[in-house]
Amino acid sequence: MKTIRLTTSQALVKFLNQQYVEFDGKKERFIKGVFTIFGHGNVVGIGQALQENPGELEVYQGRNEQGMAHAAVAFAKQKHRKQIMACSSSVGPGSANMVTSAATATANNIPVLLLPSDVFATRQPDPVLQQIEQTHDLSLSTNDAFRSVSKYWDRVSRPEQLMSAMINAMRVLTDPADTGAVTIALPQDVQGEAWDFPESFFRERTHLIERREPSQESIRNAVELIKSKKKPLLILGGGVRYSEAADTFAAFAEKFHIPFSETQAGKSGLESNHPLNLGGVGVTGNSAANKIAQSADLIIGVGTRFTDFTTSSKLFYAETDVLTINISEFHASKLEATKIVADAKVGLEALSSALEGYKSGYETEIEEAKSEWNEELTRLKNIAYTGEEFVPEIKGHFDQSLSEYKDSLSTELVQTTVLGKVNELIAPDSIITCAAGSLPGDLQRMWISNERNTYHLEYGYSCMGYEIASALGAKMAEPDKEVYAMVGDGSYLMLHSELVTSIQEGIKINIVLFDNSGFGCINNLQMDNGIESFGTEFRVRNPRTGQLDGDIMRINFAQSGAAYGAKTYEVYTMEELECAIEDSKKQSVSTLIDIKVLPKTMTDGYDSWWHVGVAAVSESSDVQTAFEGKESQLQKARKY
């Protein structure tokens, strides 16, 4: 057997260079490159290997391990999971920073390869710098935290273990039914150890991403179910996009005259103006989709995980039959569904062929629901602050203190109006990214996706801090398109480090920052459930009360972006917004548009419910009322 003597790190880099995927006859390199922040745990191991012979791997310098791994997740998501990035971190806190990103990837079934450094396998220098010593188990390290958030986890304690670890890593990374974060922990001494690796380990490997075919029995069962129903509703999930099944999905809906709604991951799988597209469904859904969802006699979920936001915490479809088409047996089995375990495209094709002669019983309901929503959408896009008599969308919370925010932030801008204008002004093929706060609800309801695959929301984990890093990852995936990170002030403060990486690399991204001086979404949830505003507004500590109820904080985010080298804009009026958007298009460097908006001017819910843990005992009558309301809704919802 021919062998090559290499260090573990050198062998890893050589192996990664030889990985390809093939999907529908198209073959491409699977791993584009490596994000890294070098520390003592990886700079002389993986760092040496990447410096000496990176092969085709491109090396990118991150600024925060969570941020760079989020960028890697976004890259793979925008690439429909057909190409990925790896991430290398140092030991201890560097590794721990990536745990959140691993969870984000796994919750969304997005492949990312994480290579955290680990403590010494020999234990000779224990406790090494940044090592946690668990007295009951010396084999534990920071990296064991990845076990609960990874689809595959391994620790390479000897060089020869790299081979089985990486072959299994590729198995999971290229499995459309069960992919997510793959974590390979690399003890820092093992990274530099040498071994005679067989040449066969470094042969070119092409991983075939196959379209799983449905069973004939599952198709027969589905046909029987559909034919017994008059008003089914399709749900377009992220699996439709990853399967690249948009045309097949549209043809199915049109052939049988079945309306469809979208999840956050599925939105922009088809254009918003498709006549059968009702828009977002569930907690962050609009009135059209939610109205049809609650009157439908069959729900057909294609490539969706049926999260609580899609099902309105199972209040929707509580007594409605459900049919699923999903490549994952686990997700296909949810809600006691009649299931077709298959790739979305071939599953829909097989079902379409077998369902000949069927047509739904919808008459004018689809058009009426869409027309009603379009009127509401026009209203939302044209709301203007009118002074003391102004009633915000989120009523009864800050009605008396909006004027304080108006004066403090020097703005009268309404969030829904601003969002509508941004949608109108940016190019139709622009990609938007978002993850948390009130913006995902506004975007799923209001955003018009004029072109496919331009709406990039992470809402499986709704991870604050994903937004700006994801813009970098999406731009790397599609460099010819403008990318806009839609972000609230809370998420910006939590993590915006990869803005610097974008400037370093000359990869232009645009940050559209909505500043309402607080965690507005959570403040809404808090006050909707009878609790007075507490710890969710950005106010200074009041020396008189000792609480965080002093003056409203005013932060100039534009100045922070300018300090990094971004082109920035301060926006207080609609005219300034339009000028900023148009000028940002002319820039070659990353931009930040700092928009001051009034709180409570985001969209409200549309006939949906979200189950949260309201206090069962409280001295507040408002909290007691909220608890009783929760219990009442829970009685109507599906229990499992």
> Residue positions in the annotated binding site?
65, 489, 516
Share of the chain residues as helix, strand and coil, in percent rounded to the nearest 5? 40, 20, 45
Helix (H, G, I), strand (E, B) or coil at 30: coil
Tokens encoding 626:
């909220």
CB atoms within 10 A of CB 478: 17
Helix (H) or strand (E) holding 117: strand 112-118
Task: Residue 498: name the closest of 488, 509, 483 by CA.
Answer: 509
DSSP letter for 63, please: S
Binding-site positions for Mg(2+): 489, 516
Q: What is the 3-state secondary structure (H, E, C) of 315-356?
A: CCCCCCEEEEEECCHHHHCHHHCEEEECCHHHHHHHHHHHCC
Asked whether 151 and 171 are in contact (CB, 8 A), the reply is no
How far apart are alpha carbons 526 and 198 in whole angstroms?
A: 60
Q: Is the dihedral of CA 577, 581, 584, 590 positive or negative?
A: positive
Q: Which residues are annotated as a binding site for thiamine diphosphate?
A: 65
User: What stretches of 303-446 adopt beta strand conformation (E)?
Assistant: 321-326, 338-341, 431-434
- Map 64-116 to HEC letters: CHHHHHHHHHHHHHHCCCCCEEEEEECCCHHHHCCHHHHHHHHHCCCCEEEEE
Tell me which DSSP letter residue 532 carries. P
Structure tokens that stand for 377 in this block: 């959408």
Dist. CA 264–CA 385, nearest whole Å? 29
